[in-house]
Structure 1
């Protein structure tokens, strides 16, 4: 004997309360023939006669009365279960865990978050700022609902969506010798110069090193290795040395001449910015809304 389904039990309880298969069927929004068929199937499954049909309606047999009482208790527990699940889903859908690599977190995510708060009421937002490798790991292990990375090659083991393109530039303090050059740098000259760089695992550093390797130039040891884009940018502004940073990070400094862009030939420093989320999962609710906002970022 297999356990009856909840809708069959609900039908029996309604017949007990309403005294009619037709009335019970209407309450469940099914046809009367369908309800009769379900009741017959329930009796066959349990091996018991549950309902006696008369011209005036239906009455439950003694066995039917006992089963209906037990069914009512079971349904109360099921309803409690579903109410709890709905509450948990509502709580989960109102909380969004996002991880973003440094440049995105510092220069793009604030605007995205502001737009999301305007579109989705009462959302609890958590933003974890890390390098691109750490962001991808957080997504793979289910610690993050949605991530944004800056690596030139999209990470494996996650679902990926292209968001927009970014361009990196060589920047130096205004009093640096490169600021007075008449000719652009060559990739070899850039690679032979100690730079202020991000830590290993950052998309900014990986983009630079991959671009140099593509043209056969290996970067020498860094001048400074720092763990945030802002720290690298501040060091360049303070005169510590040159670096390669996203235009997102230095646009204002370039406009106000706190740093100087140094042209470099034959080196592609463009990179894609990607959204990533757990493989095999579909984005819904606030996560899907945030991705849609990010996708609308002006190119």
Structure 2
């Protein structure tokens, strides 16, 4: 683990908080605390946990909870996971989509370490309607790439509603899975029992205040 720098905070964020939460937090932090410096790394949720564990990051923001108790997480925001379908697709305009329909549909999603993918598959499993184990997935490493793949007809995307709406385009439509909305939390993640340097402590306090955590 690298020696902490009291004047610099390094934030690792998965794609959704990295795109929709971190930029505003960094801008506010820079304006209110000009004596401190913040650097950011955008990865997936698994990458956030790895960065915290090996000391490359002081603070994490992720779309999933860590599996082990060496890290602690608190909810700072919520998001809904929806389906992105190409305009004119068989599922476009049909109403909520069943898991049986998804089983026959190629899916486009982020990598396996993505909190969006993990939250979606966990939610379906908890309902007793898991995706089939050999479900066909096309992997893209950014939300923009995922939506482009959907538009190109490579499959139906599993995506954050924030991401889909922010990249709003006429050739991709939002559809929901039948049943209750598939919601997931976004988390502030820290090392357990960690003495954060001054910049990181100040950033965490600002993040909690800004998000109402």
Q: Structure 1 length normalisation: TM-score?
A: 0.62
Match of 1:249 among 159, 163, 173: 163
What aligned pairs does 1:99-110 form with structure 2 within 5 A after superposition? 99-110=12-23
Of stretches 231-240 and 138-147 in structure 1, the one that deviates more from structure 2 is: 231-240
Moved over 4 A (4+): none
**Corresponding residue of 2:204:** 291
Match of 1:186 among 98, 105, 108: 98
* Structure 2 unaligned spans of 5+: none
Offset at 1:121? 0.6
Q: Say which one has the larger Rg.
A: 1
CA contact (8 A) 2:53 2:191 kept: yes
CA contact (8 A) 2:106 2:154 kept: no
CA contact (8 A) 2:151 2:171 kept: yes
Which has more strand, going by share of residues? 2
Q: Say whether residues 1:227 and 2:141 are aligned partners.
A: yes
| Cα distance per residue 1:250-286 (max 9 Å; x no partner) | 11345x5342111321254111111111111144533
Q: Say whether residues 1:199 and 2:111 are aligned partners.
A: yes
Superposition CA RMSD, Å: 2.4
Larger RCO: 1 or 2 (CA < 8 Å, sep 6+): 2
Q: Structure 2 length normalisation: TM-score?
A: 0.85
Q: How many Å separate the matches in 1 of 2:197 and 2:153?
A: 46
Q: How many Å separate the matches in 1 of 2:164 and 2:44?
A: 19
**Corresponding residue of 1:97:** 10
Q: Say whether residues 1:172 and 2:66 are aligned partners.
A: no
